[in-house]
Structures are given as C-alpha cells and as structure tokens.
Amino acid sequence: MPAFGRMLWRHGGEPGMLIPLLQAAQDSYGYIPPLAIEQIAMATGIPASEVYGVITFYRQFRLRPLGKYVIRVCKGTACHVQDAEMIGRTLEEELGIRQGETSEDGLFTYLEVACLGCCSLAPVVMIGEQAYGRLTPQGLRSVLRRYRRKPGRSA
C-alpha cells in the first residue's frame, strides 16, 4: 500500500489532517489526482469542493503532473534587475507554455520562484537540481536543446 493509502487509513478521520493528507497524496502521485481528492473528502468528512479549495489556495499543491524536467525561473531582486522577465518570455516562446504549465510532450514544467539563492549568477534558472546562471535568451535555448536531446527522455 502506498504511503498515501496508509496515511489515509490510519489518520483520515483525525482533526487537522487535511494538509498532511494532501501532502502525502502529492508525494505518492506527484500531484493530487481527482480520486485522491474524493478519498480525502470521504475520510475527513470535508466536502470535496472544500478539499479542492484548499488545494487551489496553496501554491505548493498541484492538480496536474509535473513534466520530466521542472524549470524554476528565479524572480528575486538580483534576477529581476538582470532581466529575468526576458528569460520567462523566452521559455514561454520556446515551450509554448506559461508559468505553472507543462509542455504538451510532458517534458518541461515552467515555474517561477521567489529566489534560488544564486544571486551572483543572475539571472538564474534551475532545471531539476542543476543551476544555470548569467543566462541570455540564446543561452537558455541552448540549455533546452540539451535537455530535449537527453537519452531516455520519454515523459
């Protein structure tokens, strides 16, 4: 039984367990699927519409799976001054998606974050655990090409 199922079975009816159950569902599935919302609603006695409301209130929760590669664009002050907006626009053009979306091929998800802590390298993008600094639009395109060519890239 996955961790989410065990937690739901053990703690579903306990007060204050909604957020931990949502976190467990997302940890198990990579996002919170409709079935998990229904299961959590039944176990907690909270209407599914309210569970959905909590999910959409907190940015940490996702209702759709992430892409194979999660691209985080820093929007901190140093990156903003170094034109992180241009990096975001380049991503949107190259991938055909906006912030918070996943490409049709399931390869990339584009997320904006407050700060990546690499201010001296602004503007910075992280793909997975790899940071790319002092990016230009052309440099970003080059990085994306490398990820598109990676072996075993089926998403």
Residues 83-98, mean pLDDT to the nearest whole number: 96
What are the tens digits of pLDDT across the range 52-76?
999 999 988 999 999 999 999 999 9
pLDDT on residue 11 = 77
Of 17 and 7, more confident: 17
Tokens 């075993």, residue?
Answer: 152
Q: Does residue 127 share a domain with residue 94?
A: yes
Give the chain's domain count. 2
Q: 64 lies in a domain?
A: no
Please report, for the domain that includes residue 144, its CATH number: 3.40.30.10
What are the tens digits of pLDDT across the range 18-41?
999 999 999 999 899 999 999 999
Per-residue confidence at 152, pLDDT binned at 50, 70, 90? low
Q: Does residue 102 share a domain with residue 133?
A: yes
Sheet holding 69-74, edge to edge: 108-113, 69-74, 125-127, 130-132
